[in-house]
Chains A and B, each alone.
Chain A
Amino acid sequence: DAGVTQSPTHLIKTRGQQVTLRCSPKSGHDTVSWYQQALGQGPQFIFQYYEEEERQRGNFPDRFSGHQFPNYSSELNVNALLLGDSALYLCASNHKGDRALTGELFFGEGSRLTVL
């Protein structure tokens, strides 16, 4: 049973560029969330996708956008990259019906973005 998988694992971009990160949720899960973890900090919630729509959003600018596909996989897009966007981007999944019962998120290993 595959867990949450993310790609790429590492990437380097320059300021002003755009990046797309990808996530496949754990088998049986239908909800995907994205978190940003800056060095030495805890993860910060970016947004959640369910039924191909953004359902909840954290305090991130519109440069951060996403998408969920019919197979529940998801993409995170960041435009006009800034140095401060350098971070580990984590994807988490769960099943909406189970969330109320277990309260658990399943995280991938993350995509480490470096902006030069």
Chain B
Amino acid sequence: AQSVTQLDSQVPVFEEAPVELRCNYSSSVSVYLFWYVQYPNQGLQLLLKYLSGSTLVKGINGFEAEFNKSQTSFHLRKPSVHISDTAEYFCAVSESRNTDKLIFGTGTRLQVFP
């Protein structure tokens, strides 16, 4: 069965510092990987996705992630964070492009301090 592990429940960081949010997945078949962001009192918004091709994926708001099949990881990075990046970040996996059934991790709370 698929599963997603987000190793850090909270990540505090100062503004303009780099950040990495970790995500590991477990799956025996091909995977499609996603990062979603949830701002306070809002729904989830797609940051970026890996479906196929280049393992380095660029998303919105300056975020990027790298798919590493050997380490079964899909870590999210940003070289310089802003206060407005404060939010909950969820990593998710699915076994098919044609399904709406995403398996989400428990989330990482990114707190950016001035």
Q: Which residues in window 7-39 of B have CB below 8 A to A? A: 32, 34, 36
Q: Which residue of B lies closest to A41 (CB)?
A: B106
Once A41-B107, A42-B106, A56-B99 are accepted as A-B contacts, the answer to whether A103 and B44 lie under 8 Å apart by CB is no
Give the complex CA separation of A99 and B46 in angstroms.
Answer: 13
Whether B61 is near chain A, meaning CB under 8 Å from some CB there, is no
Q: Collect the chain A residues with CB atoms within 8 Å of residue B97's CB.
A: 99-101, 103
Partner of A90, one of B43, B51, B98: B43
Contact indicator B100/A56 (Cβ below 8 Å): yes
Whether B80 is near chain A, meaning CB under 8 Å from some CB there, is no
Partner of A110, one of B43, B92, B94: B43
Give the complex CA separation of A40 and B107 in angstroms.
Answer: 8
Q: Which residue of B lies closest to A91 (CB)?
A: B43
Q: Collect the chain B residues with CB atoms within 8 Å of residue A92's CB.
A: 44, 100
Contact indicator B104/A103 (Cβ below 8 Å): no
Chain B nearest CB from A22 CB (Å) reads 15
Chain B nearest CB from A11 CB (Å) reads 16
Whether B41 is near chain A, meaning CB under 8 Å from some CB there, is yes
Q: Which residue of B lies closest to A32 (CB)?
A: B100
Chain B nearest CB from A52 CB (Å) reads 16
Partner of B104, one of A42, A102, A110: A42
Once A4-B43, A90-B43, A109-B43 are accepted as A-B contacts, the answer to whether A45 and B101 lie under 8 Å apart by CB is yes
Once A109-B43, A110-B43 are accepted as A-B contacts, the answer to whether A103 and B49 lie under 8 Å apart by CB is yes
13 of the cross-chain contacts (CB-CB < 8 Å) are A41-B106, A42-B104, A45-B103, A48-B100, A90-B43, A94-B100, A96-B98, A99-B98, A100-B98, A103-B49, A105-B46, A107-B36, A107-B45
- B residues engaging A (CB < 8 A)? 4, 32, 34, 36, 41-46, 49, 51, 90, 92, 94, 97-107
